[in-house]
Amino acid sequence: MLEAARSIRRGEMTSERYTQVLLERTRSLSSLNAFITVEDATVLDAARNADKARLAGRAVGLPGLPIGIKDSYMTRDLPTSFGTAVAADFRPTTDARVVKAMREAGLLVFGKNNLVEMSYGLTGLNGHYGQAKNPYNPLHITGGSSCGGAASVAARLVPAALGGDTVGSIRVPSSLCGVVGFKPTPGRWSSKGVAPISGTLDTTGAIARRVADCELLDSIATGSHSRINRAIHGLKGIKLAIAPRYYLDGADPEIEKLFNETVRKLKDAGAHVVEVDLGADFGSLVAHGNWSVFFHETQPDVTIFLRENGVPVTVEQIYDGLEPHIKASWTRSVLPTGPNYTTDASYKDALLNSRPEVQRRYGNLAFSKADAVIFPTTLCQAPLITEQWQYPVAGKVVNDTFLSRNTYPASFAGLPGISLPMGLLNSGLPVGLEIDAGHGSDKELLQLARRIEEVIGFIPAPSNLA
C-alpha cells in the first residue's frame, strides 16, 4: 500500500492506470467472490480526478489510492447491502465516518467487499452474493465475516480494505488468508454508519499486507496523522506472554508446532517470553459472557441503526430474508422468543461481573508481566468449503464457531489485537499469529507488531492465481 501510494505521489504511475490494473485483475478473479459491488466507471472517474488534483498541486495525503470497503459500511451513492438481499438497492446519501476520513485523506473507494450476511458468521458464506473463496486454495473458506476484504487483499485485488470485528471477523479471515488484520480498541475507530452486531463488542478496523499499512490507516481513521517511526529496533527488552492452557487447547498439532517455532524465533531476537495461566475456568467464563452479550445486543442495536441511518428496511424484513443457516441462529438466540435468548439478568451479569473479571485477569496475570500476549490466531487451517459447519481438528469434530475461539477473548475484554501471517502449513494454507495488548495501547501494539513482523518474516503471495 505504501509503495503504491509513493509511486502515485511521485508521478511514477497514475491512479487511473493503477486502478485500471486492479479492475482487470478483479474481473479475472471474480470467482473468488471478494466483492459485491464494483462500479468501474465510478472508481475510474475518481482516479482521474485524483490525478488531476495531483498534477495541479492540490493532492492530499494518499492521492488516488483505491481500497476495499466491507459492505457493512455506508458509502455515499454506492450500494450498501449489509450482505442482505432486502437492502441490495440501498444507496446512502452519506458515508460512514471512517469512510469519510479515508476519502478526505485521498483514498478511493474501489468497491464493496463481500461479507457474511449482517456480519453474522465466521466462514465467508453469503447465500445471496456467493461463498468467498480462499486465494491460497479456492476449495477452502476465507473465514468471516470480513471475508471479501481478506480475500481481496490476499489476492492483490486491492492493497488494503476496511473490515469489522465483533468476535474475530477481521482477525479470523486475515489469519486464514495470510494477511494482516488489525482490531483496534473498541471506540478508537468510529462505528458511525457501520451496521452493528453488538455495540459493546463491535470495532471497525483494517486489513492489509503489512503492519505499516495498518498503522497508516489507523492514523487516518483516528485523525492523528502521526508520522510512523520506520526504525526497527529488534525485540531486545520486549516481554511477551504465552498462555498455552487456553490458547493452545485443541490446536491442530502442526499449528502448535509452528507457534512454538515462532516463539523460539522471537526469543532468539531478544524477546523475553513468560508463560502465564489465566485460570482453569477462563474458557467457560469468556465463552458464556461473550456470547451472552453478542446475541442479546443484536436485535436492539440493528433496529436503532436502521432507523437512525434511514435504511429503508426493517429488522423483521432482514430476518425474513436471511440465509437459512444464519436465520436459524437468529431464531434460536437473537429473537426474544428463541430458546437460547439471553435473559436480561444473564446479560447484566456478563457485563457487570464476567467482563470485569476477564479484564482483571488479563491485567493482573498477563499485562503486569508482559507487553503483549501472543498465540495462534486460529487453532486450525481454513476448512474446506464443503465442511465449513463441522470438521475435524486434533481428533475432535468442531463447528464453525471454533474459528473464533482464540479471538473472542480480546473482543470480550475490549483489547486491541492484530493478526500477522505466521507461516504456511504443509497444505500450503496460511495461519496467523495474534498479538493482543492492553486496552487503549493501540499505537504501542502496532509498533510492536511491526517489530515482530520483521523477525518472523513474510509469506509468499498465493501461487495459484494468475
Average pLDDT over residues 169-193: 98
Note the pLDDT of residue 63.
81
Q: What residue ranges define each of the domains in the chain, with the CATH number in brackets? A: 2-282+345-456 (3.90.1300.10)
Average pLDDT over residues 97-119: 97
Note the pLDDT of residue 347.
98
Task: Please state, in angstroms and rounded to a whole number, the distance separating the CA atoms of residues 154 and 327.
Answer: 30
pLDDT in tens, 323-366: 999 999 999 999 999 999 999 999 999 999 999 999 999 999 99
Instruction: Give me the sheet containing 160-165, strands edge to edge.
Output: 35-37, 107-113, 65-70, 160-165, 203-208, 180-183, 417-424, 430-436, 372-376, 239-242, 272-275
pLDDT at 229 over 70: no
Task: Please state, in angstroms and rounded to a whole number, the distance separating the CA atoms of residues 181 and 453.
Answer: 13
Q: Which residues pair with 75 in a beta bridge?
A: 78
Cell, residue 8: 502515485
Note the pLDDT of residue 231.
61
pLDDT at 215 over 90: yes
pLDDT in tens, 61-86: 788 999 999 999 999 989 999 999 99
